[in-house]
Amino acid sequence: MDKPFVDVFRARQDTLGCKNVVHFNNAGAALMPKQVLDAIISHLKKEAEIGGYEAAKLSHDAVEHVYDGVSELIGCQRHEIAIIENATRAWDMAFYAIPFKSGDRILTSVSEYGSNYIAFLQIAQRTGAVIEVIPNDDYGQVSITALKNLISERVKLIAITHIPTNSGLINPAVEIGKVAKQANVLYLLDACQSVGQMPINVQTIGCDILSGTGRKYLRGPRGTGFLYVRQNVIEQLEPPFLDSHAAQWVTKDQFKIRTDARRFENWETNYAGKVGLGVAVDYALSWGLENVWARISSLAKMLRTHLSNISHVKLQDVGLDKCGIVAFTVDGHNPQHIYHQLAKQKINVSVSQAASTRLDMEKRGLESVVRASVHYYNTEDEIQLFCEAITRIISQTQVS
């Protein structure tokens, strides 16, 4: 069997930003390859030159192709895909379509993302549904044993963030899917950080609904996302709002909602973004997600190893399996200070605050962490440079 391979030189040649920055903020928004940028600009030029509606007609095949690309990417049928302006809205369109009632139980994880949890709270206040948090296992991930013990006929939904925003954790999505299927419970997976980083197959995972974004590991444009809804679930969910794209006005007093996942879309959309997302998906598939994942895993492991050897640095990742997100703190240094000092050196990271994963952060006594997230176009030399920069920041403060 051939060894997994990513041509890093070619990847960096395709990535204009590699000349400008050390980009370790791929979990925020990855650097777009020039192929994606060119596709977006080309469509926008058409809109400027001949008009928006006319440009959309000319780009019809490219716009429709994104459904084929995403369905290939995650292992489903194109009619089970909706293209939506971001992952949060995609998640919302599905979640708010679920008919909750008083006493219904929503099971979620300790590391659930803040926006999702706010939605749980709103629905709980509105309907009387109950939020219950699945305890972690000894590795800091969703405990499958605890999940099984929480299952009852009142459980309406299992909603899990696959990869949380604030650590390297990968929740056991496949094992959760097995529990959901056996219990016949709806399973919603937020795959915002995992799609594009690793192979994802909704059939293997067993989720009924999955949301994803373009801007992160898929390296697509901001303002693009998608929603997967399993065919036998689509018609059980009425979207929280409809328009003349999602439904048809058939008589004066009647409308008919479309039968595919596009019932969760709306008529007006960012056509240039859609075209760009399609190109980004094709680009990711061209590398092979197994190869991408092998490269990201290797770089993240190297980064963790190097950081662990720096005095005063504490890794804050949990989980049995870890991804390309590397979270850490530095004794005596606010993560925002680290962020700003790195930015001065054209090194990009981000800071995860407690509000984005409050249950997990408060449980671990953390207010914020530095989040460095690598992609396949990053290099071993960049990791060395990054760690040298962290060492200098620490030593300069000690000297002063």
- Check whether residue 69 and residue 198 sit in a common domain: yes
Q: Of 231, 253, 286, which residue is a domain's last?
A: 286
Q: What is the DSSP string of 135-158?
A: PB-TTSSB-HHHHHHH--TTEEEE
Within a domain: residue 117? yes
- Check whether residue 369 and residue 318 sit in a common domain: yes
Q: How far apart are CA 317 and CA 6, in angstroms?
A: 26
Cβ–Cβ under 8 Å, residues 183 and 150: no
- Check whether residue 156 and residue 250 sit in a common domain: yes
- Check whether residue 209 and residue 264 sit in a common domain: yes
Q: How far apart are CA 33 and CA 153, in angstroms?
A: 48
Work out the average pLDDT over 126-148.
98
pTM across the whole model: 0.96
Q: Is the pLDDT of residue 398 over 60?
A: no
- Check whether residue 78 and residue 22 sit in a common domain: no
Task: Name the pLDDT band for 2 (thresholds 50, 70, 90).
Answer: low
Q: Is the pLDDT of residue 32 over 60?
A: yes
Which is it for strands 130-134 and 155-161: parallel, antiparallel or unpaired? unpaired
Work out the average pLDDT over 220-225.
98
Q: Is 81 helix (H, G, I), strand (E, B) or coil?
A: strand
Q: Of 286, 308, 336, which residue is a domain's last?
A: 286
Percent of the chain with pLDDT over 90: 98
Strands of the 313-315 sheet, one edge to the other: 313-315, 325-330, 368-373, 350-353
The CATH number linked to 157 is 3.40.640.10
- Check whether residue 248 and residue 293 sit in a common domain: no
**3-state DSSP percent of the chain in helix, strand and coil, to 5:** 45, 20, 35
- 91: domain range? 36-286
- DSSP character for 105? E
Q: Is the pLDDT of residue 151 over 50?
A: yes
- DSSP character for 19? G
- Check whether residue 305 and residue 211 sit in a common domain: no
The CATH number linked to 369 is 3.90.1150.10
What's the confidence (pLDDT) of residue 205? 98
Q: How far apart are CA 36 and CA 173, in angstroms?
A: 30
- Check whether residue 200 and residue 277 sit in a common domain: yes
The number of domains in the chain is 2
Within a domain: residue 400? no
Amino acid at 326: V
Q: How far apart are CA 88 and CA 75, in angstroms?
A: 21
Q: Which of 2-16, 20-34, 123-137 has the lowest mean pLDDT?
A: 2-16
Q: How far apart are CA 109 and CA 82, in angstroms?
A: 25
- Check whether residue 223 and residue 94 sit in a common domain: yes
Within a domain: residue 252? yes
**Residues making up the chain, counted from first to last:** 400
Both structure tokens of 87: 């992952």
- Check whether residue 26 and residue 59 sit in a common domain: no
- Check whether residue 114 and residue 187 sit in a common domain: yes
Both structure tokens of 205: 């995972």
What's the confidence (pLDDT) of residue 400? 45
In this predicted model, what pLDDT tens digit does every residue of 40-56 receive, in sequence order?
999 999 999 999 999 99
Q: What is the DSSP string of 238-294?
A: --SS--TTTEEEEETTEEEE-SSGGGGS-S---HHHHHHHHHHHHHHHHH-HHHHHH
Within a domain: residue 84? yes
In this predicted model, what pLDDT tens digit does every residue of 340-390 receive, in sequence order?
999 999 999 999 999 999 999 999 999 999 999 999 999 999 999 999 999
Q: Of 259, 286, 313, which residue is a domain's last?
A: 286
Q: Is the pLDDT of residue 397 over 80?
A: no
Question: Angle at the Cα of 323 (from 317 to 326), degrees rounded to 5?
Answer: 45
- DSSP character for 266? -
Within a domain: residue 339? yes
Both structure tokens of 184: 């016949």
Within a domain: residue 103? yes
Cα→Cα distances 201→3, 77, 191, Å: 22, 12, 11
Within a domain: residue 271? yes
Percent of the chain with pLDDT over 70: 98
Within a domain: residue 1? no
Half-sphere exposure at residue 186, Cβ-oriented, CA atoms within 13 angstroms: 25
- Check whether residue 280 and residue 319 sit in a common domain: no
What's the confidence (pLDDT) of residue 3? 54
Work out the average pLDDT over 262-289.
97
Task: Name the pLDDT band for 399 (thresholds 50, 70, 90).
Answer: very low
